[in-house]
Amino acid sequence: MKKAFVTGLLAIIGATGAYAADLTVGANIGNVPWEFEDASGKVTGFEVDLVNEIAKRLGKSVEFVNTPFNGLFPAVQSGRINMAISSITITEKRLESVSFAQPYYDSDQSLTVTAASGITGLKDLSGKVVSADTGSTGDMWAEAHNAEYKFGEIRRFEGLQPAMLDLVAGRVDGYISDIPALLYYVKDKPELKVVERIPTGEKYSIMFNKNDPLATEVNTVITALKGEGFIAKLHEQWFGAKAEDTTSTVAVLDMPKAK
């Protein structure tokens, strides 16, 4: 998921870490279809489109800063970025130290393998090497269920691309990560296969520093965008299917709070 990109959107201005835009948004570029570079080198994706529209509604300019997934949390907490995207799941643990706007996508985890491996699901991974993104909910799930499935090793990667390289090369046997990203990624790659959906009941949102007033401002805009059907249209554009009315893509929800 992570490479250095020399584009106007990702340029960091000055050695002090200051940015040219009103809003700096940390994003794990390469996380298809949420934020990635298209063939022309332009940063695009579901969440990129969403954030650009939010910034427009707030009357602010925006700049996307390529950041490894695990680095998004300290970056937002230290104020180096104003907010973070990258299909970030809202969890009780994360709510202790950061804030989220209301969610806009419901998700689960998944297992991806090579089509030639013969692996049909998690039950076939005993003694084998599984991979996940460092600090992700896939990583947490794999660790929590290690004893149940008896993985030989859990290998951590900084994103989808390096994990896929090792999977195709046979250095790992399976990759556990968010199902929408993997379904999108493998649709034109017959050598890869999503073989199992792992129900986790996750919801994605934009992340902010704890109690940052910007979170409330963005949450208000998301409510308006849901009411107008804007986010539902994004869903149809990027996933080729209508979002169900009961999902967080359509339904207006409260901002999540730590219990």
Tell me 71's DSSP state. G
Mean pLDDT in residue range 198-222: 98
Percent of the chain exceeding pLDDT 70 equals 93
Give SS3 for 177. Answer: strand
Domain architecture of the chain: domains with CATH: 23-106+203-239 (3.40.190.10), 107-200 (3.40.190.10)
pLDDT digits (tens, 9 = 90+) for 52-66: 999 999 999 999 999
Q: Structure tokens of 47?
A: 């969440």
Q: Give residue for tokens 């201005």.
A: 13
Let me know if 178 is exposed, middle or buried by CB neighbors in 10 A (0-12, 13-18, 19+): buried
- On the question of pLDDT at 16 being above 60, the answer is no
Q: So what's the pLDDT on residue 85?
A: 98
pTM: 0.84
Spatial neighbors of 99 by CB under 8 A, at least 6 apart, are 207, 208, 209, 210, 211, 212, 215, 255
Contacts of 224-227 spanning 24+ positions with Cβ under 8 A: 224/57, 225/50, 225/53, 225/54, 225/57, 226/104, 226/250, 226/251, 226/252, 227/252
Provide the strand spans (E) within the chain: 23-27, 36-37, 43-44, 62-66, 83-89, 98-100, 105-114, 129-133, 153-157, 174-178, 192-209
pLDDT digits (tens, 9 = 90+) for 34-87: 999 999 999 999 999 999 999 999 999 999 999 999 999 999 999 999 999 999
- On the question of pLDDT at 11 being above 50, the answer is no
Is residue 255 very low, low, confident or very high in pLDDT (cuts 50, 70, 90)? very high
Q: Structure tokens of 119?
A: 């692996």
| Other CB atoms within 10 Å distance of the CB of residue 56 | 12
Q: So what's the pLDDT on residue 241?
A: 85
Is residue 259 very low, low, confident or very high in pLDDT (cuts 50, 70, 90)? confident
Give alpha helix (H) positions in 80-124: 92-95
Q: So what's the pLDDT on residue 227?
A: 98
Q: So what's the pLDDT on residue 88?
A: 97
CA 175 to CA 128: how far, in whole Å?
A: 11
- On the question of pLDDT at 96 being above 70, the answer is yes
pLDDT digits (tens, 9 = 90+) for 153-178: 999 999 899 999 999 999 999 999 99
Q: So what's the pLDDT on residue 12?
A: 38
Containing H/E element for 226?
helix 213-228
